[in-house]
Amino acid sequence: MTGPLPPLKALRAFDVAARCGSYVGAARELGVSPAAISQQVRNLEAFLDKRLFTRLNNRIVLTDAGRAIFDGTTEALRAISEVTEQTLTGTVRSRLVISVLPSVAQCWLAPRLSAFTQREPSFRFALRVEEDPVDFERCDIDLRICYGPNPYPDLVAVLLCHDAVLPVCSPDYLIRNPDAADPGLEGVPDEDLIHTDWGAGFGSLPTWEMWFARSSLSRTGRAKGFVVGTSALALDFARDGLGVALGQRMMAQEDLAGGRLVVLSSLAAPLGHPYSAVYPRSRARKVGLKGLVDWLCRLQSAGA
């Protein structure tokens, strides 16, 4: 015999309020008034005899009891929704909400998501491109691909790879500048170096100065070369023949395999931190999540 069940309407209002961080946001999503959301949360609190939220400035924050309820019920509500969809339409599609850094999305994740969807035809995703940190609950995020020390210590983190950068250019640039083939890049003028600057919030991206130090040369070229704000743009300009970039290996794989970029030196400089796949424990059973994460890990292990 099953135990007592909470009122589903109240549980749904609580779940949305927890994700949105406010009654106003929950009311907007469910098409009711904030007062109605507040009343449903009170109904659930009375049923459980627990306080589920506490107020912090203009937001509501889960209490320990609220967190336990949220972690234990959010996936159940999602499963109910999927079963309902399957009953009504005859099919069920897993729409995984994935949040990812811009260059990782463009140069690495996008082709892999396409390949995974071809393998799993019922798989569906919503891709959010944004910088860290992200609000998993408010934005209903299932999976985040992030860089650096885990900014989400309470979540499950799976190591994907520890990337490195190495000098790359287009075949056309190499034809125009045959001296660039020197392994130490002594034939590449400072004016042709493409520098990547992720901004003040990052200090772990290898620079040309660091790369030249590893090759026992003392030069930077920053004052004379190009500076771009993302790893994807650095690869774009290198592919267009503008100059030589320190391209991230994981992001340049497709261009290297297709001959659109060539490696000028095997000397690689590792990034300061790895990339990880991060997700809430409450989402671990979401259809497609672990399958996608495991598949991405296998691809990286195989160097694909």
Q: Are residues 264 and 180 in the same domain?
A: yes
3 belongs to a structural domain: no
pLDDT of residue 252: 95
76 belongs to a structural domain: yes
Burial of 262 (0-12, 13-18, 19+ CB in 10 A): middle
For tokens 């999540």, what's the residue?
A: 289
279 belongs to a structural domain: yes
pLDDT of residue 92: 52
Q: Are residues 149 and 297 in the same domain?
A: yes
60 belongs to a structural domain: yes
Q: Are residues 171 and 236 in the same domain?
A: yes
**Domain stop point among 89, 116, 142:** 89
1 belongs to a structural domain: no
Written in H, E and C, the secondary structure of 114-175 is HHHHHHCCCEEEEEEECCCCCCHHHHCCCEEEEECCCCCCCCEEEEEECCEEEEEECHHHHH
Q: Are residues 179 and 256 in the same domain?
A: yes
Q: Are residues 286 and 141 in the same domain?
A: yes
Q: Are residues 114 and 244 in the same domain?
A: no
pLDDT tens digits in sequence order for the chain, 304 residues long: 467 888 889 999 998 888 888 888 888 888 899 999 999 999 999 999 999 999 888 789 999 999 888 888 877 777 777 667 666 666 555 689 999 999 999 999 999 999 999 999 889 999 999 988 898 877 889 999 999 877 888 899 999 999 999 999 999 999 999 988 887 788 899 999 999 988 766 667 788 988 988 888 777 666 689 999 999 999 999 999 999 999 999 999 999 999 999 999 999 999 989 999 999 888 888 889 999 999 999 998 877 6
2 belongs to a structural domain: no
pLDDT of residue 191: 93
Q: Are residues 192 and 262 in the same domain?
A: yes
Q: Are residues 179 and 264 in the same domain?
A: yes
- Domain interval for residue 180: 164-270
Q: Measure the CA–CA gap between 294 and 145, rounded to whole angstroms.
A: 13
Q: Which stretches does DSSP call E strand in 15-153? A: 53-56, 59-62, 94-100, 123-129, 143-147
Q: Measure the CA–CA gap between 143 and 114, rounded to whole angstroms.
A: 17
36 membership: H or E segment, kind and range: helix 34-48
Residue type, 154: D
Q: Are residues 176 and 260 in the same domain?
A: yes
Q: Measure the CA–CA gap between 13 and 94, rounded to whole angstroms.
A: 22
**Domain stop point among 54, 89, 124:** 89
Question: 35 with 42: CB under 8 angstroms?
Answer: no
Q: What single-letter DSSP state applies at residue 32?
A: S
- What CATH number did the domain enclosing 62 receive? 1.10.10.10
Q: Are residues 178 and 249 in the same domain?
A: yes
The token pair that represents 176 in the structure block: 């125009």
- What CATH number did the domain enclosing 117 receive? 3.40.190.10
**Domain stop point among 74, 89, 104:** 89
Q: Are residues 169 and 255 in the same domain?
A: yes
0.85 surpassed by pTM: no
pLDDT of residue 282: 80
Count of structural domains within the chain: 3
pLDDT of residue 194: 95
pLDDT of residue 170: 97
